[in-house]
Structure formats: structure tokens, C-alpha cells
Structure 1
Amino acid sequence: MWGILSQFGMVSARGEFNRAQAALRRVTIAERDLGSFTDEQLLRESSSLRYRAKCGDALDALLPRAFALVRETAGRQLGMRHYDVQIIAGTLLARGCLAEMATGEGKTLSAALPLYLHALSGNGAHLATANDYLANRDAEWMRPIFAALGLSVGVIQSDMLPDQRRAAYACDVTYGTAKEFGFDFLRDRLLGSEHGLLNTGFHNHGEHRAAQFVQRDLNYALVDEADSILIDEARIPLIISQFESASSAKLTAVSKWAADIVGRLEQTTDFVLDPEISTFRLTPAGRELIRRFPKPSTLAGIPVSDLYHSVEQAILVHQRFRREQQYVIQDGEVVIVDEFNGRIANGRRWRNGLHQAIEAREGLAISPVSSSAAQLTTQELFLRYNCWAGMSGTLLPAAREINSVYHRPTVAVPLNRPCQRSHWPDQVFLTAAEKWTAIVEEIRTVSQQGRPVLVGTRSIEKSAHLSQLLDQAGISHQVLNALHVRSEAERIASAGQQGQVTVATNMAGRGTDIGLGPGAAELGGLHVIGTELHESPRIDRQLSGRAARQGDPGSDRMFLSLDDEILEAGFGKEQSAKLRAAAQKRKDTRGLASLFRSAQHQVEKRHAGQRRQLIQSALRRQDQLEQLGLDPFLEVEEDASIALS
């Protein structure tokens, strides 16, 4: 297919970029005669390429004409002709690279190029995006291009039945989410285990059995928002759960008892933080206290070790979990808010009793504990494909980690037009109250100039807090808190109108461009305000990148305070308290902005280490189980990670 060196990341980013530039010249030559072709002639040319691909012609040889066909067809069907930089991006993605494309540079249109090329063989090509809405939107948007060239397009949605999924995967190009692709892989795996087909490629074991699987063998995947899926969510495995038959009455009793007594325990005396696994452990004195606490008769017969565990989970909830930050309550149930994208994670559950501890604190009905029937990580999923690639606007900061884990280069794609974003100096305040006051004043000043303003927050709770302050100040605005993905995308698209103020969680509307309304560019374009640093600098960069797309003017500024969570997360509670006290004593915050970036770096470094350990452990375990003839995705070890059910 492609050279061994590029497939395993042994070719430098510069070498891949040079190859992509050379491919652009070949595409330009290959498209010279296509302008005079009729639509029927373009379709026949596409059929010829499909025949050659199925006969084994190398994709590298087919690329110039294939890309030329897609470029010409996109111009006719959508009125959008690929820019040269999009051809470069498409080449990188076809070759299995990670391509960084800035916000607004046309990733959706660029993706049509490698998807078409890899679908020519008839083995399918998948695009994995962030949510069902974007999958359906992008599929419908690109469908006219593929249809005009004789290729079918399918979409996977979370509420689909198996027959509908099977039909979507049978199409030449299939759009969906990484989560749905992973779950379908696991469900097929479970089905295969029932027939004794535990090895890779069990789809090939007879037509009758293969017809029961929804997926075909995995050929090519293109991962949109690749840093979010491959890096940020790498610590969260995809899991198919099964509920255990343990007594629900005892589970309810111990969870509620632990929630009732947790407030009577003191840190350092009764429990301590275990820095190795970022959770809390009872001290010997704490365990003694638990044994002496009065207990209702409903706890009779429950092992003391289970009591310790339930109390430790209750401590973790009490110390670290906040409603409207890590979770929300919907229809009487705890629903997780994804920490990286701010979106509601329907179907996801914390494991090892943590979910039940939160339900107990909130006074909700206690749900059954679940165990894992099958699981895999996103890394394991995409490594099963014959070839895969990824794209995002914020990949370069993670390039070293991506290369160490996935063994492939990350290449920056040049901008189609020079960036005109202006970065305003960071503002640092002693307290959060002072910071919020300054943010409201900047919103007032900039919006009164007629410029649109986008404000990013780290949580739903803080979006609501800022909204309340804006209401008190009489500033009209809209709030996007990622509770409703479809309306979120539609409303974020209108955030570039003159004078429009939009408050959103940092990742709300990701995947949707903010186009400037009439007259907004002349006034200075979109102004983006960050209200605190995220644990990952890539998410801050993604937020600021919403401004000044495609050569438009724009600006951004970050507001910080010594109360921000990032300081404690990076330096610890004691050190961050000392920094806060010293700054408040001298009443001067000048020069402190670098401390926030340093704390952020410490958190990102710690998370990167955890991700490396996760994939190394998963790969070792996978090798060991396969050597024993076992399925590594079904022989699941229980742990305390987050589950998807």
C-alpha cells in the first residue's frame, strides 16, 4: 500500500511534507483535462480507478487522478474547490500521517480526498468524529461528491439497530464516532466468541456467520479531532458492561451510609491522598474509626473491606467531584460531563462503586454495579486498521507523544491565508471575584464596539456563573453548555454576528466554524476570552483558534486568578497556597502568568506519563493473552476507570 517507513513513522515530518508537495504537482497535472469532462465521463473515470484499485494497483499511483477527480467534483457539486493546502493535507492523511490544520482551514472537505482514495478498493473507509451530529452533518455535506463518483455513504448513529449498522458499514465510506466504531467492534467480538472465532479476521469464517457481524474487516480510518480522541480520551477505555447480581439493598445501604459519615472524617488524620493513583486511602486511624462508627442493621454481613472501599470512594467524591462540573443530574440520573470537551457523555458510567457514591451524595436511587464483558482503548481500536490517519487544529504540541505511542509523524499544514489574530496580554488577578469583574468589563467594552465575543469556560457551572454576572450587568448573551449538541453547533455558527456575546464551555461547538457576520470583520472580528487555563494547553489553543479563521481579523486574551484550579493541580495544595499568600501579601500579580503555564505543563506531563503507562500495559497484556489463545478484548480485568455501557 504505502512504504514501510512512512507506515511506522520512520520518515520525518519534513520528508512527508516534501512528498505531499510533490503529490500536489502531480494532482495539478492530472486535473488539466477534467474541466472539459461531462459528469458521466467523471463517473466513468472513477469506475476505472476502482477497477485498478481492486486489481491491486498501488494507491500512490492512483492518488493524483483520484484527488483530481474529487477536486473537480467538489467544485461542481458543492461550489467548493480544494485549495492547494487541502490537497497537501489530503496526501498526508492518505499516507497515514497526523495533519495539523488550523481552525477554519477546511478539514471536512480535505477528508473527502483520502476517504475516496482508500474506498476505491471496495474495502471501506471510516471517518471517526466527535459526536453523532457532526458525523451525520459531514456525511450529508460530502455525500454529493461521493455519489457523483459512484461511491455510497453510510452514517453510524448511536440509536441504530444492528441491521442499520450493517448496512452503513457495507457502504464505501462510513461516518461515525470513535465510540460507536469501538462498540461495534466489541459487539462483533463478543458474537465471534460465541462461535469460537477469537482471532482477528473472524469476519471471514463463512458467509452465514459473517452476515451476523455488523462491521467488515477494518481497512482505513481517518480520525477527526485526533488529539481529543487519541490523547485526551486515551485513558478512558470503551467498555461493554454487564450488571452484577449482587444485592441492591446492601449496595444502597453501604453507599448511603458512607455518604452520611464522610463529612466527619479529617484529611491527614483519617485519610490521605495517594499521589501514585490520584485517589484517597484511609489511614490506620481512619479504618479504626470506620469500625467504631454506628452502623444500621442493613450493613450486617458486609465485609469490613467493602466498608473501607465504599468510604474511600465517598471521600473521593466529597473532595474532587462537583455537580455541574464533572457531572449533571438529568431525569433523576447522574450523567457524566466529559472533562476534555465539556459535553454530556450519555451511557458512560464511573466504575468500581464511584458512580454509586455520587448517586448516594445526591440522594438518588442507587444503580446496580456493573462489570466488564469486553473493552478496548481508542489506541487499540485504530491500531486494528490496515491504515489510519488523524487531523486536528492542535496536534503539534502532542507530536512527540503521538510519535512515541503511534510511531508516525505529525505534520503542520500551511495556512491558506496568513493568520491575523492578535494576542492580547494575559491578565492575572488575586481573586476569582476580581477576575470575573474584569471579564465582564472587557465583554462590555468589546461588544459595544460591535465586535462579536466568545468566552470559554472550563465547566457548565462556571458558564452559568458568568451568565448570571452578564445578566446583572445588562449584557445580552447566549450560553452554550454542551447539553444539546445539535443546537450547540447551530448557535456557535452564529456567534460571529456583530455585537453577539457567546458564553460556552471551552470545547462547545468544536467542529463548527464561526463565520463573521456582515461588517464584523471591519470592526476587528471575533474576540475570544479564556477564563482560566485548561489542564491541556491544546484545549486553550483550540479556543483561541476560533478567532481569525481563514485570514479574518480577530483577537484573544486569557484571564487568570490565583484561585484557579490549575495551580493546585500542578503544584499541589500546599505549594499553591504559599504562592497565593505571597502574592496577596505584596498585592502584585505582575510576572505570575508564567507560573500558570508552568503548573499546566506539570499536569500535562503527568497525564502524558499515565497515557504511556496505559498503552504499554494494554499492549503487553494483549500480547500475553493472544499467546495463550485468549481474546484480549474479552478477558477483562476490573479496575477503577471510567466505563462506557
Structure 2
Amino acid sequence: MLSNWSLNVYPRALPISTRHRKIAKRIISLERKMSQLSAEELQNYVCDIRNKIDCEPKKAKDFLVEGFALVREASWRIVEMRHYEVQILAGICLFEGAFVEMATGEGKTLTATLPVFMWALSGKGVHVHTTNSYLAERDFELMSPVYEFLGMSCGLLCQGDTPVIKKKSYDCDITYGVGSEYGFDYMRDQLAILNTAKPKLGKTFMASMYGYKPRKVFKMQRDLAFALIDEVDSVLLDEARSPLVISGAKGGVDPNAHIYKSANSIATSLVLDEDFILNKSKRSIDILECAKQKIYEIAPPKGLVAPWSFYIRQALSAHHFFQKNVHYMVDEGKIVIVDEYTGRRFAERTWRDGLHQAIEAKEKITITEASKSAARITRQRYFSFYERIAGMTGTAQGSEKEIWKFYRAPVIKIPPRKKIQRIELRDKVFGTLEAKWCAVEQKICELYKCKQPVLVGTRTIESSEKLALRLQKLGLNPQVLNAKQDAEEAKIISSAGQVGAITIATNMAGRGTDVHLGDGVEKLGGLFVLGTERHESRRVDNQLIGRCGRQGNVGIAQFFISFADDLIVQHLPKITDKFGDKNELPSHYTRIFTKLQNQLEAMHFEQRKQMYHFDTWVEEVLHMMG
């Protein structure tokens, strides 16, 4: 149990050690020997190591050199890629349970095969967590032939698969899937156990989670052994403020839809600062005393299960805190949540406590019945069930403290194979949105004239579409990548580095996407990444910057930001008013954005810490009761 939250006891990002380098040299020295073996001899070699590890599982580390050399040779024969020394170094650290920071474009997908193969030799099963289904499918299709050549079975988790199909994937030596899906399947298994549990346990999900061993039931997952997490900072930090929640089945149209419609009607009649006050930073609403007359002019509708003011407050939240094509989109008459960190759609998720219904009323679509929470778990708690976890990302530095305190894992920085040649220009700062977007237009036109490809990062679907429309009026033809075009992601990204390409993307292009440069682009200065807004987390900004200057290529990155951007409007609205009549401002005003990001990251850390403490408190209470 982690109880020490002092800020001065944790390791900073560590460099590669001499021991790691010596092991890597030994692995590389076996290249010639492995290349002379036939396919059958390689496979027999794997079987021999596997048999020895079966007898003594703790001896797996003794076969690290031979195991990594086997994977290098198999990768070369199957996909014509052989691990470089820096990838081997990262693989060693991952196998030992560290979190590694590798520069974007250094080949994390190939690196993952090294520790995954070694863990899989134990026969316990390895879970490879990715941030989205596109990356899970891509990595599975690319790397499963390598594992299969080495005698390993490999499965892919797909949303919508039946439990029987998922069990087949989980029974494989190696399973690829979206990180959250593993957590949901774990809870589904626990709910299945709960349904067969003895009544005296009390039918609570948490009771089954902590220590009860019921009679045998159908489970999809085996015991949790090893997990390799891609984009580990996104999964374990950015997304960790929201627990994984499974909802019970919904019954279609809500019989109390009239309540949400009435609340929506009243909410639209209330006046900001006269009837209610917003706190955008805390996302809270205070309804003033003078507004009560408007709220209770007519009797509250029948069927209320909460105070009438609660429904009004949720309706106000739907109108003032949640924007269409920013936080959600309407697709085929349904509200689809858009993830603020990745820009991807969450088709199966809903907001709780009537908020989803309030947004449906706002958009005047069918109001669905609210679902009840059947199970809940934090990511911190879920990952604590694995014997060993390790993770990769391009942006872990600055988060070493939290990673160490939650997961007791060091962050190790892997040097790039080639010197990074990316140029990061100073931010351009503007007072108004219009001044910023005019400057963005002008910069894109300049780049298009010299045929240098540009990737424009926007924060929301709405911003991406508005910018695309502005450029189309200038005679340009940009490609747009957001949650509405997620099916075409691979095609759009593949052309983003070609001569003269203009690509506008939300955060979907920020993680895990490879933009390959076309012929002649290097001479033009490489890919130009133009960010149009800073995010609450600097890691998201850095991931966008990392789309250029990969693997030693040249590239340029620059942000165009304004004091009317959402980041400032939500958290420092007084500054927005102060600079509302300014155009371009000196670049040193960037410090305000940086300071605000630091404050928000500290606040988010406190939220995750509180969630962790709640989990440990629940565990202690259940142990005392049991």
C-alpha cells in the first residue's frame, strides 16, 4: 500500500545504465548465429526455452539474451524489420517493469515484441494495451505473424465480440486490445462471479473484487499476469481521473422523458448572472434565489426521483458546459461522446446522473432511459492486479513523481537512434480568435505556395470543420481527420506527409500515428506541424509536436494560440476580457499558458490521488468486514 505522498522521494527520469548496454551488445552479437538457423531450428530453440521456463518460471530473465535475439531474427524474416540497439535497450527496461520514454517515431510497436515474447514464454498470457481500436488492429496485424512464427498464439479483442469469442482471444499467449476493454471485461467477469456468489456476501461488486473465491463460473480472462501499455501516460494519467464504469441494460425510450424536456425548457429561459452563476473552471452552477420563482412558476412534473432543481442544474450544464462537435456529436439520432484527450468517439459510453438525457433534450432527439452503474473500478486499482506492468510513451518526463507513487515504476529515457532535427518555433500569441485564425490561414497559404506539407492540430471537431471551410473559401482543399472520419484515418494519415498536403486533425493524429514523408519533402523542410490551441495537459501538445521530426527527419512545429481559446476562457476568463481588443502579442505571454497548464496538471494529480485513497479505504473496510 502506498502511503507516502511526499514530493521529495521519487526517482527522476533515469538514463540507460551500463548494464543495459552490455546486455544489448550481447543480443546483437547473436545476430549472425540466429541468421544461420533454419525456421524449424528457430522454432525448436523457442520450444526448448519455453520448456525450461515452465520448470522454473523465475528463470525467464536468464534467457533474455537468447529470447531477444530470436525475436530480432523472426522480425527480420517475417516483416523485414530488425530491432535497433535503442529498441533493444527499451525492450530490456520494459521486461524489467519500467516505463520507458522513447521519442516519437522510434518504433514502439516493434520494440514491444521483445518484452511481450519473453513474458509470453511463461504461458500465463500477456495483454498489450493500446489507446484505441485502430492502433490495436494495426499492431495486431503487423506483429501477430512474428509471434506465430515463433510458436505463440495471438488474439485481438474487438468491441462487440461475444464473451465466447473474447475468451478465445484471452486464452492466447498474447492478446491485443484497447486498454479500457480489458478493464470492462474484468468487471464483467466479476459480475458473473457475483451472480453465483452466496447471499451472505452481500451482492456488491466490491465484495467479489477483494478476496472472495466462488465456485467455478464462465470467465473470459485468466488471472492477470503481464500488461504492456502503449501511450502509458495517456492511459494511466490523463484518463485515470475517470473510473471505468459498467452500466446496467437500458430499456429504450425513457418513460420520464417529459421531465428532461421541461427542465430543458426552463433552463433556456434562465439568464446567466441574473438567475444563475457559472464557475467554468470547477464546472459548477449556482442557481440564485431570484430564479426560484421562474423554476416553480408551474408545478414540477410527476415522476421526479431527485429535487426539481437538480434537473434544472443538469439542463444548464448541458447548455453551458457541453458543446456539440466539441464534447459530443450527434450521429444517427444518438449522442456520441468524444474523448477530449484522443479526439475519438466513445459510441458505447453515456454520461451519468441524467446528464446524458439532458443533452438529448437539448438536441431535441429521443431521450433514452438512464442506465444504472453496475460496476466501477479505477485504472489505478485495475492495474494493481497484474503481476507486472510496463509502459511506453513519447511524453513521460515530468510525470515521474506520479508514476513512481502510483505504480512504483521508474521512468527511463531512451536516447533516439538519430539526432532529433525538429525545429520548435516560439508560439504566436493573439488577443482574439479571429486574429489567430487569420494568422493560421496566412501561414497555411505560405506553406502551400512552397508545397511544404502541413498538419494542423485542432482541439475540437467544430474547430477542424470551421478551419476547413475557411480554407476552402480560399481555394484550398484540406483533408479533415476527426471523429466523423475515423473510418478513413489510415488513408488520411498516409497522405499527410506528401508534397503540398494540408491535413486538419483533432487529437486523433496526436498519438500512435505515423506520418511518412513523400519524395522531396525533406528539401522543403519536412512536415510543418501547426497547433491551434494549447491543451490542459502539456503531454497532449507534445504528442502533436512529435508528429514531425521523426527518426532523424527534419520538421518544424509551432503553436498559434489566443486569449480567447477554451483553455483561458474556462479557467482565466478575466484575462480573456483584458486582451479582447488585441491582435498579435509578444511571445513572452506564452508564460501565462504554461503556468496555467502546470496548475491544472497539479490539480488533476490531486484528483487521481483522491481516487486512489478512496480505493484503498474501500479495500480496508471490506477486509475489516470479511
Which residue does 1:636 correspond to in 2? none
Q: Does 1:294 align with 2:291?
A: no
Q: Call closer, same or farther: CA 1:246–1:322 in 2, change over 3 Å.
A: closer
What residue in structure 1 maps to residue 226 of structure 2? 220
The code of the aligned residue for 1:45 comes to Y
CA contact (8 A) 2:154 2:173 kept: yes
Query: Quick one: distance in 2 between partners of 1:549 and 1:70?
Result: 24
- Structure 1 position 364, deviation (Å): 1.1
CA shift for structure 1 position 520: 0.9
Quick one: which of 603, 606, 614 aligns to 1:606? 603
Distance 1:335 1:321 in 2: 12
Can you list the C-alpha shifts for 1:318-343, whole angstroms capped at 9, x where unaligned? 22111000000011111101111111
1:333/1:31 CA distance change after superposition, 3 Å: same
Residues 129, 223 of structure 1: 8 Å contact kept: yes
After superposition, the C-alpha distances for 1:394-438 in whole angstroms (9 at most, x for unaligned) are 111322222222221111111010111011221112211111111
Q: Offset at 1:275?
A: 8.1
Provide the residue aligned with 1:580 in structure 2. 579
Preserved CA contact (<8 Å) 2:74 2:149: yes
Give the Cα–Cα distance (whole angstroms) in 2 for the partners of residues 229 and 487 of structure 1: 24
State the partner residue of 1:510.
Answer: 511
Deviation (angstroms), 1:192: 1.0
Residues 496 and 526 of structure 1 are in contact (CA less than 8 Å); yes or no, is this contact kept in structure 2?
yes
How many angstroms does 1:287 deviate by? 3.9
**Counterpart residue identity of residue 602, structure 2:** K
| Paired residues for 1:320-359 under 5 Å | 320-359=321-360
Equivalent position SS for 2:97: coil
CA distance in 2, matches of 1:345, 1:59: 39
Q: Deviations over 1:106-131 (max 9, x none)?
A: 00000001110000010011101022
When residues 468 and 217 of structure 1 are mapped into structure 2, their CA distance, relative to the original with a 3 A threshold, is same
User: Is this contact kept in 2: 1:337–1:345, CA < 8 A?
Assistant: yes
CA shift for structure 1 position 44: 0.8
Counterpart amino acid of 1:496? G
Specify the alignment match of 1:635 in structure 2: none
Please state how far the C-alpha of 1:392 moved relative to its aligned partner.
Answer: 1.1
Superposition pairs of residues 192-341 of structure 1, within 5 angstroms? 192-196=193-197, 209=216, 212-243=218-249, 248-249=254-255, 251-273=256-278, 278-287=283-292, 289-291=294-296, 293-295=297-299, 299-300=301-302, 302=304, 305-341=306-342
List per-residue Cα deviations over 1:494-522 (Å, max 9, x = no partner): 21111111000033363121110111112
Unpaired runs of at least 5, structure 1: 1-8, 630-645
Which residue does the alignment assign to 2:616?
619
Distance change in 2, residues 1:382/1:136 (3 Å) = same
Q: Is the 1:254–1:307 contact (alpha carbons within 8 Å) kept by the matching residues of 2?
A: no
Counterpart residue number, 1:90: 91
The Cα shift of 1:270 comes to 3.3
2:592 to 576, 592, 595: 595
Instruction: Note closer, same or farther for the CA distance 1:588–1:387 as it changes in structure 2 (3 Å cut).
Output: closer
DSSP-derived class of the 1:335 partner? strand
> 1:139, 1:301 → 2: CA distance?
49
* Counterpart code for 2:561: L
Q: Relative to 1, partners in 2 of residues 1:59 and 1:597: Cα closer, same or farther, differing over 3 Å?
A: same
Native 8 Å contact 1:17 1:92 kept in 2: no
Secondary structure of residue in 2 paired with 1:522: helix
Provide the C-alpha distance between the structure 2 equivalents of 1:287 and 1:618, rounded to a whole number of angstroms. Answer: 38
CA distance in 1, matches of 2:468, 2:577: 32
| Of 562-571 and 386-395, the range deviating more from structure 2 | 562-571
TM-score by length of 1: 0.89
Matched residues, number: 609
Say whether the 8 Å CA contact 1:99–1:412 is kept in structure 2: yes
TM-score (norm 2): 0.92
Distance across 1 between alignment mates of 2:529 and 2:177: 30
Report the more deviating stretch, 587-596 or 60-69: 587-596
User: CA, structure 1 residues 243+140, in 2 after alignment: closer, same or farther (shift >3 Å)?
Assistant: closer
CA shift at 1:276, angstroms? 9.2
Tell me by how many angstroms 1:612 deviates: 1.7
Residue 557 of structure 1 aligns to a residue in which SS? strand
Cα separation, partners in 2 of 1:626 and 1:551, compared to 1, 3 Å: same
Tell me the equivalent position of 1:78: 79
1:467-519 deviation line (CA, Å, top 9, x unaligned):
00110111121000133434213321221111111000033363121110111
Change (3 A) 1:613 1:156: same
Q: Say if 2:16 and 2:414, in contact at 8 Å, map to a contact too.
A: no
Correspondence 1:402 to 2:403: yes
Q: Against the structure 1 CA distance between its residues 605 and 599, is the aligned structure 2 distance closer, same or farther, given a 3 Å change threshold?
A: same
Using the alignment, how far apart are the partners of 1:321 and 1:595 within structure 2?
25
Query: In the alignment, which residue of structure 2 is the partner of 1:470?
Result: 471
Separation (CA, whole Å) in 1 of partners of 2:447 and 2:456: 12
Deviation at 1:271, TM superposition (A): 2.9
Greater shift after overlay, 334-343 or 389-398? Answer: 389-398
Instruction: Tell me if the contact between 2:431 and 2:562 (Cα under 8 Å) persists in the aligned partners.
Output: yes
Residues 434-482 of structure 1: per-residue CA shift (max 9 Å, x gap): 1111111111111221211100000000000000011011112100013
Q: Deviations over 1:173-217 (max 9, x none)?
A: 1101112111111111011112228656999877xx35x211111
* One-letter identity of the residue aligned with 1:195: T
Corresponding residue for residue 42 of structure 1:
42
Aligned-partner Cα distance in 1 for 2:234–2:340: 11
- Contact 1:569/1:599 (8 A) holds in 2: no
RMSD (Å), alpha carbons: 2.4
| CA apart distance, 1:273 | 4.3
The offset of 1:97, in angstroms, is: 1.0
The percentage of counterpart residues that share the same residue type is 38
Say whether the 8 Å CA contact 1:421–1:553 is kept in structure 2: yes
